[in-house]
Amino acid sequence: MASFSTLPNFRRPTLPSKIHSISHCFSRYPFAILSAPRTQVNVRGSNLRIRAIDAAQPYDYEAKINDRFEKRTKLKIAIVGFGNFGQFLAKTIVRQGHTVLVHSRSNYSDVARELGVVFFSDPDDLCEEHPEVILLCTSITSTESVLRSFPVQRLKRNTLFVDVLSVKEFPRNLFLQILPLEFDILCTHPMFGPESGKHGWGGLKFVYDKVRIGSEKSRTNRCDHFLNIFAQEGCVMVEMCCAEHDRHAAGSQFITHTIGRALSRFGLESTPINTKGYDTLLNLVENTEGDSFDLYYGLFMYNKNALEQLERLDMAFESLKKQLFGHLHDVLRNQLFENAEGLDAPEDKQIFTKLLPNGTAVKPTQRS
């Protein structure tokens, strides 16, 4: 191999020319050289050592990594039923950075624009956007008709369907019956609403049941990312099967609504001397009056445990009345008999006159 010294017209560069070459290299490839941990250049036996000094990079790696993480955890969610409760959930979902599409029979385009979501009047157009999650926020009574008419054939084949109804066995069975096997199913119930959750969701219960979630990592992650919407807000996450939920809800939520609506019809009003207990009843009336009768009817009609709870409530009220009236009866009896003891005839009181068969009076006899 020929050496530099043997090449024709080759002149060994002087020190200044070498330094000029190095500086020229810096100007052409600043990031490549400065980002190197250590570079050594031998100049006539001496070492010229260049060290990286945390030079600026052509882009922010940390921001790029964070952006990729955000994209992996953020979802495209379609809310079907954009009424009071759908709008209530959309505010928080949008604030967390998720993409929200909405559809409803009524025109809520102005409200959607204010919340920063996209409104679709046609469900086919909504499905063409291929949302990852379909969140049903319809009323209990209209859920079946909405689901049966929904163009699921336009969705991706593993789309996640979620409901937020106050009953759980009914939507679970409906999803399993109507949706193709490829679709994932998550039944949920936020145990709060626009009134009880207006100051935040922290400490409020969120019940869920992973009815059918595919085993692929992407599908389990998607389900977890959706649940994290509520966990991130401080909800108490309660995993519970749909049947168990309905048993508990019939004894709590349905009875709560029943008492609240009964007191509303009773005409409960505030007074100048309210006790804390009475204020609690007034708040109960206010909260239940904020919900539609359709919700209350759905709690009764679509939860098989509700009728039993209503009958138990009726029996308890009748038992309480009997106890009150029974105690009152005992008090009255005691008063009557105590007064009757003072009505006995004196010792010299004559016996009533007896009559003979012919009507002749017989002289009354004296007591011996």
Q: Is 284 left (phi over 0), alpha (psi -120 to 50) or beta?
A: alpha
Pairing of β 99-103 and β 76-80:
parallel
**Do 214 and 259 belong to one domain?**
no
**Do 200 and 311 belong to one domain?**
no
Residue 95: is it exposed, middle or buried by C-beta count within 10 angstroms (0-12/13-18/19+)?
Answer: exposed
pTM for this entry: 0.70
Q: Where are the beta strands (DSSP E) in the chain?
A: 38-43, 46-51, 76-80, 99-103, 118-120, 133-136, 160-163, 184-190, 205-212, 236-239, 354-355, 361-362
Domain interval for residue 281: 253-315
**Do 184 and 224 belong to one domain?**
yes
Q: What is the pLDDT of residue 31?
A: 47
**Band (4; pLDDT cuts 50, 70, 90):** very low
Portion of the chain with pLDDT greater than 90, in percent: 65
**Do 272 and 219 belong to one domain?**
no
Structural domain includes residue 139:
yes
Q: Give the count of domains, the chain.
A: 2
Q: In this predicted structure, which of 180-194, 309-323, 343-357 has the lowest mean pLDDT?
A: 343-357
**Do 160 and 308 belong to one domain?**
no
**Do 107 and 200 belong to one domain?**
yes
d(CA 163, CA 80): 10
94-146, pLDDT tens digit by residue?
999 999 999 999 999 999 999 999 999 999 999 999 999 999 999 999 999 99
